[in-house]
Amino acid sequence: MLPILQRRTTVLILYFSIAANVLFVGERFYRRLAMILEEEDDLDVGRMLHVGNSNGRPVMNLSSGEQCVQHYGNGTCSDNYPTYHGQRLTHVVMPFHTSQVGRVEGNLRLWQTFPPCSREGQPASPLTGYHLVLYSSADSKKKAYIAELEARLQAAVANLTSDVLSCFQSIEIQHANLSGSSDTYYKGTRLMIEKLLVGKVKLQYPGQYVFYMEPDCYPIRSNWLNALDTSVRWPQPSFWMKGSIYRGYNKGVYATRHPPQYFHMNGNALYNVGDRQFRAWYIRHYRPYVQAATPRKDRSFDTDFWRFLYDLENIMVVRQVIHKFVYAEIVMNYWKSSYSVAKLRETFPNTYLVHGGYQKP
């Protein structure tokens, strides 16, 4: 009896250890996938390889059975939350490091001079509810600090005139909860935009097109919010990112002869955060590319977009998506360069915002 029992036990132990191994390996595999896909388990990444214009829905079917082509501003189409997901600007997101609160205040003060949705130029759409998100790097767990930070932001918002406030349906504060080790320029700025692009920033209203406006990205003429909205509306082709090539004149930047610095689309740009295929591309193709790269001081998330798009290794993916990255003049990247607002306004009638640099009279 005993030897049989022992044999059975051995067999049982063998079975058990195989099963445990399968479970262990299975769990690791599952965890890795879960980590890559975050909460997006229903993400249709397979569709990534064809990216068409499906995201814009210029033609709406009305309940009356009629069809309606969406026009700017006259309430025939149900161009409203939470059901409408077509091409429109929904948010301005202002990301900032906790050391930059003063710049956020300064930027908001400038909005009195250049109101986001002024009466001059095109009228604001009565259907358009824009939302403003002040998006800090702070960690929500630091309660005392958060209270102080939010009080300052609240005061800056309370300071806005009704002309400015009426441009926004809501203004909210979000924190990226960066921990000490990720609170560096290289990691922090990336993590903040990534959380937004992959849907980890739980906005009060679902985002479609978002203008990502660092505190050193300033309006240079009024009605910039409506101008941004117009540049995403049908009949504009839908896109993932629309922004500026380097337009400054800094000798040091030129001296680098470093193509990503010259050619990249600056991060202060419009992003189609509502497009799941953009999210799929980011998670499936772009993020692994960046993770495999060596962190360097001269790399940032926006120069890395350019590196990905112009790396021959990626051509089979890139040729399917490059038309989703659109250069435009609505915002100009003047990093480390001086400019005159009056001159810019005169020379570039379609430019509403300038990033970086220093104003001269």
Ligand X SMILES: *[C@@H]1O[C@H](CO)[C@@H](O)[C@H](O)[C@H]1NC(C)=O
Is there binding between residue 359 and ligand X (CB under 6 A)? no
Is the CB of 26 or the CB of 75 nearer to ligand X?
Answer: 75
Query: Using CB under 6 A, which of 156, 232, 265, 321 touches ligand X?
Result: 156
For 83, the token pair is 């059901």
CA-based nearest residue to 269, from 301, 233, 243: 243
CA–CA gap between residue 86 and residue 13 (Å, rounded): 58
Query: Using CB under 6 A, which of 78, 122, 169, 177 touches ligand X?
Result: 177
Window contacting ligand X (CB under 6 A); options: 69-77, 206-214, 283-291, 352-360 = 69-77
Which residues in 132-151 contact ligand X (CB under 6 A)? Answer: 140
Is the CB of 134 or the CB of 156 nearer to ligand X?
Answer: 156
Query: Using CB under 6 A, which of 28, 31, 109, 343 touches ligand X?
Result: 109
Is there binding between residue 61 and ligand X (CB under 6 A)? yes
CA–CA gap between residue 86 and residue 80 (Å, rounded): 10
Report whether 250 contacts 335 (CB < 8 A).
yes
From residue 310, alpha-carbon distances to 49, 256, 257, 285, 319 in Å are 17, 19, 16, 14, 10
CB of 176 to ligand X, least distance (A): 5
Is the CB of 174 or the CB of 351 nearer to ligand X?
Answer: 174
Question: Total binding residues for ligand X by CB under 6 A?
Answer: 18
Is there binding between residue 161 and ligand X (CB under 6 A)? no
Which residues in 199-218 contact ligand X (CB under 6 A)? Answer: 200-202
CB of 316 to ligand X, least distance (A): 31
Interface pattern 295-324 for ligand X (x via CB under 6 A): ------------------------------
Matching residue, tokens 């203004």: 171
Beta strand pairing status for 325-327 and 89-96? unpaired
Query: Using CB under 6 A, which of 17, 21, 54, 74 touches ligand X?
Result: 74
Helix (H, G, I), strand (E, B) or coil at 284: helix
SS (H, E, C) 77-130: CCCCCCCCCCCCEEEEEEEECHHHHHHHHHHHHHHHHCCCCCCCCCCCCCCCCE
From residue 65, alpha-carbon distances to 61, 80, 194, 249, 291 in Å are 6, 19, 40, 55, 49
List interacting residues with ligand X (CB under 6 A). 57, 61, 71, 74, 76, 105, 109, 140, 155-156, 159, 175-177, 195, 200-202
